[in-house]
Amino acid sequence: MVDGLRPASLHPLFLATAWWTDHESWGKVNTMRWIRVQKPAPGTPSRVVLITLSVYGSRRGLVLNPYSLLMTTARRIAPVLALVVLLVATACTPRVASTRATTASSLNPPASFMALPDTLVCVIDRSVTAGLRQVSAKKRDGGVVLFVDGAVRPLESVHPVDYMAGYAGREQWVRDGVPVELASSRYVRTGGERRINLTLLSRVGEFRGIMLFAGRDEGPRPDAVYLPTSPGCIFQAYVRSDLNP
């Protein structure tokens, strides 16, 4: 017999296994054990009750205490979990350090790039008020290269000659000689492409999504405007139609 149970008040039983707690009084847990609950033979007094959320038998009965079960399980597995976390953290630390070292090294230009001659390249930048800025670069094999995103790349791949990058050099309307319009004035193409120092220019407007520039000393209706055609401050000049001979 389980101490404290009165057989006459027990519920019919069947085979089961569960956690159980032995209460000296309601809410006070003394022990927690495994118990095998079995259905008695016909005519034999019941010896043990099936553990459910209800109490069967006397006040000193068997009850399932979910809170006690949870707290006991947590106390038992907490050291194991702490050990697992420590082992995982220890195993990952070298990888993190290695990743950081690799990332740091990838951000540093290689010695072969640093040994190349320095140069500055004028490029379109819509994020700045002037619309133009200088970027540091290197000269190599008659061209210009940049160190971007951990790799040495040609200038053309970083600042391609296309509409999205802000250059009109490959636009068909430029090849066809379409006049440029600014402030109700028409400007016609004159001469060929030329390099102009960015310090001599100011941003004055746009035409078909391409920025237009004029001389810094020009008024609101400039005599000429300049259309960027490729990186390096290469522009196509357009003169106001009423001034064109």
DSSP notation for the chain: --TT--GGGPPP---EEEEEEEEEETTEEEEEEEEEE-PPPTTSPP-SPPP-SS-BSSSS-EE--HHHHHHHHHHHHHHHHHHHHHHHHHHHHHHHHHHHHHHHHHTSPPHHHHTSPEEEEEEE-TTSTTSEEEEEEEEETTEEEEEETTEEEEHHHHS-SSTTTT--TT-HHHHTTPPEEETTEEEEEEEEEEE--GGGEEEEEEETTEEEEEETT--SS-SEEEEEEETTTEEEEEEEGGG--
Question: Model pTM?
Answer: 0.56
**What is the average pLDDT across 15-43?**
43
The pLDDT value recorded for residue 94 is 53
- 180 versus 86: the higher-pLDDT residue is 180
Could you read off the pLDDT of 119-147 as tens digits, one per residue? 999 999 999 999 999 999 999 999 999 99
The pLDDT value recorded for residue 69 is 59
Domain residues of the chain, as ranges? 7-64, 111-158, 172-243
Q: Give the confidence band of 167 by pLDDT, cuts at 50, 70, 90.
A: very high
The pLDDT value recorded for residue 24 is 39
**Residue that has been written with the tokens 């009084």 in this structure:** 25
Could you read off the pLDDT of 58-97 as tens digits, one per residue? 344 444 455 565 666 677 777 777 888 777 777 665 554 4
End-to-end Cα distance, the chain: 121
**Residue that has been written with the tokens 């320095």 in this structure:** 118
User: What is the residue-averaged pLDDT of the chain?
Assistant: 75
The pLDDT of residue 217 is above 70:
yes
Burial (CB count within 10 angstroms: exposed 0-12, middle 13-18, buried 19+), residue 89: exposed
The pLDDT of residue 232 is above 90:
yes
The pLDDT of residue 8 is above 50:
no
121 Cβ neighbours under 8 A, 6+ residues apart: 134, 135, 137, 144, 146, 155, 159, 231, 232
- 6 versus 187: the higher-pLDDT residue is 187
The pLDDT value recorded for residue 106 is 59
The pLDDT value recorded for residue 43 is 61
Q: Give the confidence band of 107 by pLDDT, cuts at 50, 70, 90.
A: confident
